[in-house]
Amino acid sequence: MKGTLQTITMHPRGVALFSEDLIRISHKRAKQDIVYIDATGSVVLGDKRCYAYEIFVRHPVAGKPPLAVASHFTTSHNIPSISYFISSFCHAASLLYRNNKTLPKLVCATAAWLLFNPLFQSFFKENLQSFLDRCVLIASGQYTHSMTELPFLHMCASHFLKNARTIVKEK
């Protein structure tokens, strides 16, 4: 894991960027703070669309802007591409910390449906249904302590409302 450039893919075209130092910062911040994941709709470069995904945390120094700990730029906006990026980052962290990876307490993400599956598989180690079941048990007071040790997802409200508006307009 030398340097920052971790993967280059040709089909689809893409590049993933993260480093050992950035994983260490992410690991420390995840213990006490929120991990954010964001995605751009699309950026047009010439005749190609490029999608950007970033995992970032608050800067360790108060007052500084957020710090991107992993970035992925690709021409593909699909689950396999996003899954590969997020799982590569999580795999590198597990190698660095000998499978003793700190799970974030809270992941704040864009309400992009494509992000949910990769997030649940890589960060949460569960699927969407088991996450929702866990949330219902916690909300109803029928939970075990271990359920509260797993990460929670917060969706960006503006993206969620935009998606809801689009669905209502279609019907």
Q: What is the reported pLDDT for 137?
A: 95
The separation between CA 3 and the C-alpha centre of its own chain, rounded to angstroms, equals 21
DSSP character for 101?
A: P
Are the CB atoms for 14 and 74 separated by under 8 Å? Answer: yes
Whether residue 65 is preceded by a cis peptide bond, meaning omega within 30 degrees of 0, is no
Element (H, E) at 161: helix 157-170
Per DSSP, the three-state class of 58 is coil
Report which listed range, 32-36, 54-58, 81-85, is most confident. 54-58
- Per-residue model confidence as pLDDT tens digits over 98-147: 866 667 888 888 767 778 888 888 888 888 889 889 999 999 999 999 88
Structure tokens at 152: 């929670």
The set of residues, in sequence order, having a beta carbon less than 8 Å from that of 36 and lying 6+ positions away, is 55, 56, 57, 66, 107, 108, 109
Closest CA to 32 of 125, 117, 97, 105: 105
Q: Stretch 15-25: mean pLDDT, rounded?
A: 90
Structure tokens at 82: 């996003």
Q: Is the pLDDT of residue 68 over 90?
A: yes
pLDDT band for position 3 (cuts 50, 70, 90): low
Closest CA to 31 of 124, 95, 102: 102
Q: What is the reported pLDDT for 9?
A: 79
Separation between Cα atoms, residue 57 and residue 22, nearest integer Å:
10
Q: What is the reported pLDDT for 101?
A: 63
Separation between Cα atoms, residue 75 and residue 84, nearest integer Å:
14
Q: What is the reported pLDDT for 140?
A: 95
Separation between Cα atoms, residue 104 and residue 150, nearest integer Å:
8
